[in-house]
Amino acid sequence: MQFDGITKAVVSIASNRIQRITFSENPLLDPQGIEDKLAYVWKAAELECGVDEEWTSVIDSYVGEMPTVLR
């Protein structure tokens, strides 16, 4: 996927964090837990980058391409 600079930064930060959570800290999240963690890491990435970046269908598709443990 191609994202503009700031979106790419937010997506990268959020995806790294969710991978760390699901692979290292809590690999057995239920679907609601995954949604909650996605919302949390997305907001944290937005704050870190100093933006309010909308979660779009393109980002959702990108996340959907990650390993199935994330969805």
Counted residue by residue, the chain has a size of 71
Question: Cα angle vertex 46, ends 53, 67, to 5°?
Answer: 85
Q: Whole domain around residue 31: which residue ranges?
A: 5-70
pTM over cut 0.85: no
pLDDT value, residue 64: 62
- pLDDT per residue as tens digits for the range 20-55: 887 888 778 888 888 888 888 889 999 999 998 888
pLDDT value, residue 35: 83
How many separate helices (H) and strands (E) can be counted in the chain? 3, 0
Q: Is the model's pLDDT at 56 over the cut of 90? A: no
Q: How far apart are CA 12 and CA 19, in angstroms?
A: 11
pLDDT value, residue 71: 41
pLDDT value, residue 65: 64
Number of domains in the chain: 1
